[in-house]
Amino acid sequence: MENMDMVNRVISTEQKEFYNEYGFVQVDNILTKDEIAELTSYIEEAMSEQGSRSQKTSTPDMSYYRVLNQKVNVWRDHAGIARYTAHPLLAKVALELAEASGIRLFHDQALWKMPQDSKETPWHQDFPYWPMNDEIGSEGVNRTKTVSAWIPLDDVDETNGCLMFVPGTQKIGKLQGIDLVNPRNIFDEAKGTAIDTTKPVQVPLRKGSCTFHNGLTFHYAHANKTDKPRRVLAIIYMPDGTTYNGKAHIITDPLNLKQDEKLQGGMFPLLARR
């Protein structure tokens, strides 16, 4: 599982090219049925426990809970989750997509969309929320090689919260973060770009499959209209050498990092390298 032959069987050259062009890619059957069953049991345990190292970022009395019932750094409290957050195949696919020499974990998160009363997750980019210095492209646009794996533990479609992406939006550069409870229209900020003629793509998935997307790709999740939670493990990867920009964030706030310090060490383990 750890060798490049396995990685190349899981994600093809064509999929890598698709990711580079459009900022996301679907990878089917990356986890086995047994792995999904095991991961589901672990994440159910982790979400029900009050851990000291993971952090719950929404509770039933919060309006954000209707968007996402979320727990961050679940791997820190549950060794079973840690095995999947550090899964070598997932990490090596992220390494390939990031075109990096090494890939580190920024954090994982359990993302539940609760049944019946949920709201959609509005269109947004991920990277503006993260305390990482930008990479400036040759054309002067902010770029990033951060990659998120979005792994559903249930089959997902438009009825229970599958993702939609706007292809190519990773090329626009970093915009301002969106308030997910009271969002503004991110498309207004991107007017005059190729986004004006680009249609969103909906990505239903069977459990065991996943998507990977760039930290700047516009994405959205439907509300959950079913009677069961929509359960997802998301894993956020960053290239080795990524540095801290000094801004507040739930993960970095307790660490007393200095601006421009590398995000590395035990909190941000190196998961794969060339």
Q: Helix or strand or coil: residue 184?
A: coil
The pair of three-digit structure tokens given for residue 40, joined into one six-digit string: 């589901």
pLDDT band of residue 188 (cuts 50, 70, 90) is: confident
pLDDT of 56 strictly over 60: no
Rg, C-alpha atoms of the chain: 18
Position with higher pLDDT, 3 vs 229: 229
Position with higher pLDDT, 79 vs 68: 79
Scanning the chain, the segments in alpha helix (DSSP H) are 4-10, 13-22, 33-48, 64-67, 79-85, 88-98, 186-189
pLDDT of 9 strictly over 60: yes
The pair of three-digit structure tokens given for residue 197, joined into one six-digit string: 């003629």
pLDDT average, residue stretch 246-255: 94
pLDDT average, residue stretch 33-39: 97
Position with higher pLDDT, 69 vs 126: 126
What is the C-alpha end-to-end distance of the chain, expressed in Å?
15
Position with higher pLDDT, 36 vs 52: 36
Query: In 3D, which of 179, 177, 168 has the Cα closest to residue 131?
Result: 177
pLDDT of 244 strictly over 80: yes
- Quick one: DSSP state of residue 270? E
Distance CA 185, CA 123 (A): 8
Q: What are phi and psi of 6, to 5 degrees?
A: -65, -45
pLDDT of 1 strictly over 50: no
pLDDT of 226 strictly over 90: yes
* pLDDT computed for residue 157 by the predictor: 97
* pLDDT computed for residue 126 by the predictor: 94
Quick count: other Cβ atoms within 10 Å of Cβ 135? Answer: 14
For residue 210, give the H/E element and its range.
strand 210-214
Distance CA 149, CA 121 (A): 17
- Lowest mean pLDDT across 47-56, 79-88, 89-98: 47-56
Distance CA 26, CA 116 (A): 27
Distance CA 12, CA 63 (A): 41
Query: What is the per-residue pLDDT across 148-168, written as a single tens digit (0 to 9) for each?
Result: 999 999 999 999 999 999 999
* pLDDT computed for residue 92 by the predictor: 96
Distance CA 132, CA 140 (A): 17
pLDDT of 180 strictly over 80: no
* pLDDT computed for residue 185 by the predictor: 82
Distance CA 142, CA 123 (A): 19
* pLDDT computed for residue 83 by the predictor: 97
Whether residue 272 contacts residue 92, with contact meaning beta carbons closer than 8 Å, is answered with yes
* pLDDT computed for residue 19 by the predictor: 97
Across the chain, what does the average pLDDT equal?
Answer: 89
Distance CA 144, CA 176 (A): 15
* pLDDT computed for residue 196 by the predictor: 76
For residue 238, give the H/E element and its range.
strand 230-239
DSSP 206-230: -BTBEEEEETTS-EEE----SSS-E
Query: What is the per-residue pLDDT across 190-213, written as a single tens digit (0 to 9) for each?
Result: 787 778 778 999 999 999 999 999
DSSP 103-167: EEEEEEEEEEE-SSS--PEEEE-SGGGS-B--EE-TTS-EE---EEEEEESS-B-TTTT-EEE-T
